[in-house]
Structure 1
């Protein structure tokens, strides 16, 4: 099979494209011929060696994608040949073929097209868990999202809007600002313009997947507000003064999606809840940027640049 791989950690230039052995299929695995592979910031961290990556020689990045089952293990009962499935937590996804544990494979709903599902698998389930397990916002509350026009940000903003929450955010360009406003945000600020001072202590919840903006996020919170911290797309967060948080009754909530996707039925239930927003036309996403898998270096460079709007997909 063809795959995108690397044998040392570093920048995008360490990525190579070539032929590797096909994966071995265990009794409870299905073999998926990939149609689309999702690229995420976690893949950047893994390539740099700063985030857990599954042991292999050479390393193969990627944990999410969509494709068709072309073989099944001897003890598979939940899936069948020819079925389209997606997954969000299976290693070695940057390949033409991926061995997927049947408990991790999620059947593709007929109401949605493959490209939409490939765009929203991991980022959508992340946004869903941020909103419903951590933020738990009530209708008419006011929230702020850093990176509101990114992959997670777009979906999170629209889930919250559909749930009756007032959404504000910040982004980097006029184009991204327009996207976020079109998707229902009340107001979207540009990062390089002065806006912060007028919005201090105005929000019930701030969602921060950027990291370096953590102190700013705390300043934006009302007393008794919650900061939902879920990533470091812009770099490591600064240290937080807990005494200051205590004096203002502000809380920081964190979580890892993998502690919530605990079994097959949890994946099914959460996916159905997420996809209901799309089926009911409450979420619309930007057209993804699709790169051939062999051009993975260019895809990684674009994601790191911050100039993409929405999802980046790789296609074998």
Structure 2
């Protein structure tokens, strides 16, 4: 099989493609022929060493494909099934071994590429809007990077729940994508907190912020009293230390730094979120925008484009 390997942390150039033996399938595991692997910012953080992994490692945590073999005791899946996963390491490869407990059946109406494009970010968008802060009809919601893969999904799901969505973007092209996804208002980043206050009066109920350092202060300033800041990523860098009194001064605010693993801690929770997600996709209620499909051996270029914000929607690697 072919796989991307990181032998030393650094820039995109450390992503090298090489031949490797097929992985062994142990009891409780499933071997999958990968149709597509999702590219996410968590992969960039691993490659850079911001979230350290033992070297060498195969990056990637998301993908979809066809079951090639099942291990002993696996009853839920069979050879030929279309499946997807998120939060499973070593996904930048042509073959991946996935624990059956983390594998998801992909229903008719959802292609493997779309499943690879939507699973990790879609599960994240689901827990953010259904559990971290349960969006309700009439809520004002601020979504940063509204034309990115996460932003487009968050916007659509918040609209499904009846919210008014205010998005931030950097270009006219991205504004158009955000509006097509249902954003009611779209702002540029400069001075966005003042614009949010003009639109939402006392502020928004929740901010979904995957940008981090560059937007944190203004995101806090955009919240109404007792509003919630859901800081789910740090694409612009980590937020510096701050005095918790900041939350008190701005109206008894809530701040959380959630991660997917904590919200799919049980099989029931994982399959509940996935069932909603794939159901919305199959019915056409949730549209998945794939902006780039790169051959596996061009993983470095995919990372370069993602980090340079040249992408909109989702980026995939095709083995």
With the length of structure 1 as denominator, give the TM-score of the two structures: 0.95
Between stretches 245-254 and 126-135, larger displacement belongs to 245-254
Superposed counterparts of 1:134-153, under 5 Å:
134-153=132-151
2:193 to 186, 193, 196: 196
Q: Hey, what's the Cα distance between the residues in 1 that align with 2:127 and 2:192?
A: 29
Q: Does the 8 Å CA contact 2:62/2:119 hold for their aligned counterparts?
A: yes
Could you list the structure 1 runs, at least 4 aligned residues long, displaced by more than 6 angstroms after superposition: none
| Deviation (angstroms), 1:288 | 3.2
2:119 to 121, 127, 132: 121
What secondary structure sits across from 1:237 in the alignment? Answer: coil
Cα root mean square deviation, aligned: 1.4
Q: Hey, what's the Cα distance between the residues in 1 that align with 2:98 and 2:196?
A: 46
Q: What residue in structure 2 maps to residue 227 of structure 1?
A: 229
Superposed counterparts of 1:1-316, under 5 Å:
1-53=1-53, 55=54, 58-192=56-190, 194-200=191-197, 201-212=202-213, 213-247=215-249, 248-316=251-319
With the length of structure 2 as denominator, give the TM-score of the two structures: 0.94
Aligned length: 313
Structure 1 unaligned spans of 5+ = none
| Deviation (angstroms), 1:168 | 0.3
| Deviation (angstroms), 1:281 | 2.3
What secondary structure sits across from 1:288 in the alignment? Answer: strand
| Deviation (angstroms), 1:256 | 1.3
Q: Does the 8 Å CA contact 1:170/1:188 hold for their aligned counterparts?
A: yes
What secondary structure sits across from 1:295 in the alignment? Answer: helix
| Deviation (angstroms), 1:195 | 4.3
